[in-house]
A = this chain, B = another copy of it.
Amino acid sequence: MMKDILENLMIEKITRNFLQAPHKRNKIHEADAELVDLGDERTEYLAITTDALVEEVDSGLYDDPFFIGWMLAMVNFSDLAAVGAEPLGLLLSLSFPSTQDESFTAKLTEGISAACQRLNTFVLGGDTNEGKELFLSGCALGRVPKESTMTRKGAQPGDKVFLTGPAGLGNIFAFLKLTGKNNHMKKSFYQPVARIEEGKVIKEFASCCMDTSDGVIHTMDTLMRLNRCGFVLYNDWDRIVHPIALDVCRTQNIPPWLLLAAVHGEFELLFSVGPDDVKKLHDEAAQTGWNPVLIGEVTSGRGVRIKVPDRFIQLDTAQIRNLSHTAGSEPERYIKELFDIARTAGIW
């Protein structure tokens, strides 16, 4: 039996009282954005998703107002990207304390606007309140052709697993910021762009897709549970981990795979493709100017294993995921326990 994920138990408590909408294509957990069917005569689903920046702001991990605004938009659009949707726009639900200075608000909205413009989309509307604490929530709306929708479900043993780009920048950003070591990095190395354009290509080929907003291992654990499958992850870190992140790993003595394990992901898309479609994927991707990064494969047995030269190392993905609930609010403890996991697993 697989170990429970604390986050899932919480979500199940919240959603226990809710009925499944007959016009919603996906069930809970099954897609990054909800797919709403407007009727048989329509060739598209609406895709809709909501995401708030809470822990990232409360912890001080995000403190620059332009960056906070940028991220508020991107975390929402990333969920649209993971179902292959084209954005229609963003709604904002914002609450500011009465003491909030105006330059913060101005830079926040600049960041939101810049992120929308980067994706050729718009803020559609919103609600602003005065509350005790800063609270920032978004809701992104998009559409996707019914015939080529992606969800988190559909991975088959033998499928190859890809990322839209190398991983690890999000976790390196968080590591440097929360340990006070970010002074030597140029400020802007982490400003992710939701993979909307890539998502539209991927949706033609992928058997499943999910963004890596909570880290690659977290994403694999979720997909493994939904698809009743397993994953093998190649230990080819020079190719899988972003060069900037690898560089920090060397200087700070961090095992590169921990950049896939920690919870502050990087908004790439992780997706699986059947063996027959791999060449077509590469051809289509090349035409739009990007290279999918092969990181592993889907297996029939459960679990996430790292393939090292002589053997497979099984990861306790539930332990890794639950760490953000048990130690997530204490960065030093979180990092220490993650390092302990790496030592115990024997992959350094």
In the complex, chain B residues whose CB is within 8 Å of the CB of A36? 88-89, 124, 141
Interchain CB contact (< 8 A) of A89 among B21, B127, B131: B21
- Measured CB to CB, the closest approach of chain B to A118, in angstroms, equals 13
A132: Cβ under 8 A from any B Cβ: yes
CA distance A51 to B127 in the complex (A): 6
A94: Cβ under 8 A from any B Cβ: yes
Residues A1-56 near B (CB distance < 8 A): 10-11, 13-21, 23-24, 28, 33-34, 36, 38, 46, 48-52, 54-55
CA distance A236 to B15 in the complex (A): 46
In the complex, chain B residues whose CB is within 8 Å of the CB of A124? 21, 24, 34, 36, 48
A52 near B127 with CB under 8 A, answer: yes
Chain A 69-92 interface 0/1 with B at a Cβ cutoff of 8 Å (1 = within): 000000000000000000011011
A197: Cβ under 8 A from any B Cβ: no
Interchain CB contact (< 8 A) of A17 among B51, B52, B113: B113
Contact of A125 with B50 at beta-carbon distance under 8 Å, contacts A36-B89, A88-B23 already known: yes
Closest residue of chain B to A10, judged by CB?
A: B128
- Measured CB to CB, the closest approach of chain B to A111, in angstroms, equals 9
B93 near A52 with CB under 8 A, answer: yes
B38 near A105 with CB under 8 A, answer: no
Closest residue of chain B to A44, judged by CB?
A: B38
CA distance A54 to B137 in the complex (A): 13
In the complex, chain B residues whose CB is within 8 Å of the CB of A54? 95, 129-131, 135
B137 near A127 with CB under 8 A, answer: yes
Chain A 95-125 interface 0/1 with B at a Cβ cutoff of 8 Å (1 = within): 1000000100110011011001100011111
A58: Cβ under 8 A from any B Cβ: yes
In the complex, chain B residues whose CB is within 8 Å of the CB of A121? 21
- Measured CB to CB, the closest approach of chain B to A76, in angstroms, equals 9
CA distance A33 to B133 in the complex (A): 26
A126: Cβ under 8 A from any B Cβ: yes
In the complex, chain B residues whose CB is within 8 Å of the CB of A122? 18-21, 24
Closest residue of chain B to A111, judged by CB?
A: B17
Contact count band on A:
35 or more
- Cβ contacts A to B, 17 pairs, < 8 Å: A11-B128, A13-B102, A13-B106, A14-B109, A15-B109, A17-B109, A17-B112, A21-B121, A24-B89, A24-B124, A50-B137, A52-B93, A52-B135, A55-B129, A93-B93, A127-B137, A135-B137
A141 near B48 with CB under 8 A, answer: yes
A264: Cβ under 8 A from any B Cβ: no
A127 near B50 with CB under 8 A, answer: yes
In the complex, chain B residues whose CB is within 8 Å of the CB of A28? 125
Closest 9 CB pairs of A and B: A21-B122, A54-B129, A93-B137, A34-B125, A139-B139, A54-B131, A18-B123, A17-B113, A17-B109
A143: Cβ under 8 A from any B Cβ: yes
Closest residue of chain B to A11, judged by CB?
A: B128
In the complex, chain B residues whose CB is within 8 Å of the CB of A95? 52, 54, 135
Interchain CB contact (< 8 A) of A133 among B49, B94, B130, B131: B131
- 17 further A-B contacts with Cβ under 8 Å, apart from A16-B109, A34-B91, A50-B91, are A19-B122, A19-B123, A21-B123, A24-B89, A36-B89, A48-B91, A48-B124, A49-B127, A50-B92, A51-B127, A52-B127, A52-B137, A54-B135, A58-B132, A127-B137, A133-B135, A141-B141
